[in-house]
Structure 1
Amino acid sequence: MGHPSLFFFLLVLICCVATTQSRSTPDDENPIQLVTDDLINDFDSSLLKVLGGARHALSFARFAQRYGKRYETLEEIKLRFQVFSENMKLIRSTNKKGLPYKLAVNQFADLTWEEFQRHRLGAAQNCSATLKGSHKLSNVILPEVIDWREIGIVSPVKDQGHCGSCWTFSTTGALEAAYAQAFGNGISLSEQQLVDCAGAFNNFGCHGGLPSQAFEYIKYNGGLDTEKAYPYTAKDGECKYSSENVGVQVLDSVNITLGAEDELKDAVGTVRPVSVAFEVVDGFRFYSEGVYTSDSCGTTPMGLRLVHLTLLLLEYSGKAGLRLSCKVLEVIQRPYCVRDTQKSYSVGGDRIEYQFGTSESKSPPPEK
């Protein structure tokens, strides 16, 4: 039985500026106002008893209630409160600087930066190794604003669970959008196949990877199975790929010029959603709204360009620039790469890697 072949261009861009937009954040004086005092009255008062009248004690209790935090020992309570207080200082001091973005307390507020890196980010990946060409600008007048969700080709949000597999969801999201655009109906593709099977292409399953390398794997493997045939388990496993269950194929790929933001905007504006990856810096873990910028990103001593997190870029605004709209949904008590600040899944970053595709097929096969 034949399968559609999607001709995909893979674009890579690394930069130190990205933009986004989201709903309003709690005010600077109280960024932890996530639950009401009534909930605190019903909440286990042990935290407040331990912390007494310490500054941020009530905010910490609200935080623990909001995110279902439970600490086993007195020492752990004191340690997490100390970390929380330091993060509160970072959030408030940043929000008072008049920057074009705001930070707010989220589920990561009781983790140190080192703990966040160790437990929440995949292994840093070197994007420079994947540069293979450049996107040709279309030379057409781009729309001032575009949002591919409104056009109806963006697939539903999926749950990545306790697995550093952002890169697989970014890959399948781009493929699913191209499929919907080409054939007029959706398809759900297998992230788990990429987790289990793409290791030979410098990917590491639940410990990180890159869409560029995932697309190379799909190209040489001969296809990617459907989600139904190869369901997601959120853990590393043995490769169970079957050519009988292929949903899409990738014929070729090309990377975008380093730093070419005009090419990124052209790709989003004229083609479809693109996959992105960026370096996560300390302050970004508390991002809430606005245009996120950072002077902390750069290269390693060896000149490598490293990224930690992959998303799907769905839109841009002529007034605000490029906006990263993430297809990663925050569920309380689950360690996601980023937090969902509104139903549009907006998020910002400071390094970008991306790809987009076009289809040569005429009709889709039935999903297995």
Structure 2
Amino acid sequence: MKERANNLLTAKSEFGYEAAKTLIIKLGTVFNTTNVITDQKIEIDQIKKHEAYALYKQYFNKPNSKSSFEYRRYTTFLQNVEKIRQHNERYERGEETYKMGINKFADMLPEETKKVNGYRYEKKQSLLGKKNVMIMSAYHRLPEKVDWRTKGAVTPVKDQGECGSCWAFSSTGALEGQHYRRTGRLVSLSEQNLLDCSYTYGNAGCNGGLMDYAFDYIKENGGIDSESSYPYEAKEGPCRYSNRTRLSTDSGKVDLPEGDEMQLQEALANIGPISVAVDARYLSLYDRGIFTRANCSSEELDHGVLVVGYGTEEVRGKNLDYWIVKNSWGKDWGENGYFRLARNKKNMCGIASAASYPIVPKEMIMSLMD
């Protein structure tokens, strides 16, 4: 990333080296984070706005589009820059618990942003009460913090691209974690396999789906292929699953009690990474910190993600509990592809409204490895 930023500064542009250097400085440092506006205040009014947008597009490899869309993206970019500026000023005054930053979503139109949020909660609601819901044992003392990344149970952050396949990434993440717990081996599983092959179970490829449906498909199909044998394409295609390259499987799934954060915490501590869904309408410009927002819904869920841990951080003299959540928007978003979400804050963003995980008997996995 540092090399990329240096190349951007030294490249000749239509507004020259000094102007480009000024734009980089004004838009914020890019050397320590892939998100642009972070530590520095935005003074975009002091430079030509179209030059700022040109630099933004160059940095994030944004192609030119039709004039009508280009203007809408340009105005969206300027509106988001102002939104970020105002939000981060509130953060500096201690009124917010997270920072916002310019990233690849900063000029995306609402319909484009919505497209990448492919969780279909309305389908989940119709199934509530019909699934295997596990009530965990009576609450007992749990670890103060958990992070399955440090245990080796979480694969690197992936990128779903412009496809509403978040549900597939959440599903593979949960199964990858269970596979690790049963075998001690971390494997990367194929989201494309789920995208192409689970239509008859209720999923709709890039148009959305449910993690529970994915777990059902894997069970009935007898397995899921490896990422390397069935790589991600960010679009639907014909089903190309092969028993010869299947790498893991499950025997069913468990849904946690709706809205119960304590049950989610206990499952996370004792079971492993958990598939969840959240209201992601306000997440796109997140940069770092503990996300909390009063009007983030616990019912209007639209994005499947993976909870991999929890902890507590002192924020301005107060302890703030949080969840560690793996996203599928690439490593150049948020905290290296992750975000932290306020915990024990009335089920913030619906983090515990639709939590589930696959059941993976050890003998079943070991039979695949023979």
Same-fold call, TM cutoff 0.5: yes
CA–CA distance in structure 2, aligned partners of residues 143 and 52 of structure 1: 49
* Cα drift, residue 361 of structure 1: 1.8
Letter of the 2:102 partner, please give it. Answer: V
Q: Which has the higher helix share?
A: 2
Q: Aligned residue for 1:121?
A: 117
1:68-83 equivalences under 5 Å are 68-71=61-64, 78-83=71-76
Change in Cα spacing, 1:153 to 1:57, as seen in structure 2 (3 Å) is: same
SS at match of 1:285: coil
Aligned residue in 1 for 2:304: 310
Query: Aligned pair in 2 of structure 1 residues 136, 161: CA closer, same or farther (>3 Å)?
Result: same
Aligned with residue 340 of structure 1, among 313, 333, 336: 333
CA distance in 2 between partners of 1:73 and 1:357 (Å): 44
Question: Structure 1: which amino acid aligns with 2:259?
Answer: G
Task: Work out whether 1:361 is the aligned partner of 2:362.
Answer: yes
Q: What 5-or-longer segments of structure 1 have no aligned partner?
A: 1-33, 300-304, 332-338
What is the CA–CA distance in structure 2 between the aligned matches of 1:367 and 1:233, rounded to whole Å?
Answer: 27
Other-structure match for 2:79: 86
Q: Residue in 1 aligned with 2:35? A: none
**Two-structure CA RMSD over aligned residues (Å):** 3.4
Q: Is the 8 A contact 1:67 1:107 kept in 2?
A: yes
8 Å CA contact retained: 1:138, 1:266: no
What TM-score does the superposition give when structure 1 sets the normalisation length? Answer: 0.74
> Residue type of the partner of 1:294?
R
Q: Deviations over 1:140-170 (max 9, x none)?
A: 3211111111111222333434432221121
Mark the CA change 1:229 to 1:120 in structure 2 (over 3 Å): closer, same or farther.
closer
Other-structure match for 1:9: none
Displacement, 1:365?
A: 4.7
Partner of 2:127: 130
TM-score by length of 2: 0.74
* Aligned ranges 1:34-183 → 2 under 5 Å: 39=9, 42-45=12-15, 56-57=49-50, 59-71=52-64, 78-97=71-90, 98-117=95-114, 119-122=115-118, 124-126=120-122, 127-131=124-128, 132=131, 133-137=133-137, 139-183=139-183
**How far apart, in 1, do the equivalents of 2:229 and 2:66 lie?**
44
CA distance, structure 1, for counterparts of residue 196 and residue 7 of structure 2: 46
Query: Percent same amino acid among aligned pairs?
Result: 31
Q: Count how many residue pairs are aligned between Structure 1 and Structure 2.
A: 319
Given the superposition, is the C-alpha separation of residues 186 and 53 from structure 1 closer, same or farther in structure 2, using an over 3 Å criterion? closer
Distance 1:154 1:52 in 2: 43
Counterparts of 1:233 and 1:37 in 2: how far apart (Å)? 29
Q: CA deviation at 1:240?
A: 2.9
Larger deviation: 342-351 or 270-279? 342-351
Aligned in 2, Cα 1:192/1:83: closer, same or farther, shift over 3 Å? closer
**Which residue pairs with 1:225 in the alignment?**
225
CA distance change for structure 1 residues 361 and 330 in 2, over 3 Å: closer, same or farther? closer
* Structure with more relative contact order (C-alpha pairs < 8 Å, separation 6 or more): 1
Distance 1:234 1:115 in 2: 14
Q: SS where residue 146 of structure 2 aligns?
A: strand
Letter in 1 for 2:139: N
Question: Which residue number in structure 1 is paired with residue 288 of structure 2?
Answer: 289
Instruction: Measure the CA separation in 2 of the matches of 1:141 and 1:52.
Output: 53
Q: CA deviation at 1:76?
A: 5.8
Alpha-carbon deviation of 1:94? 2.5
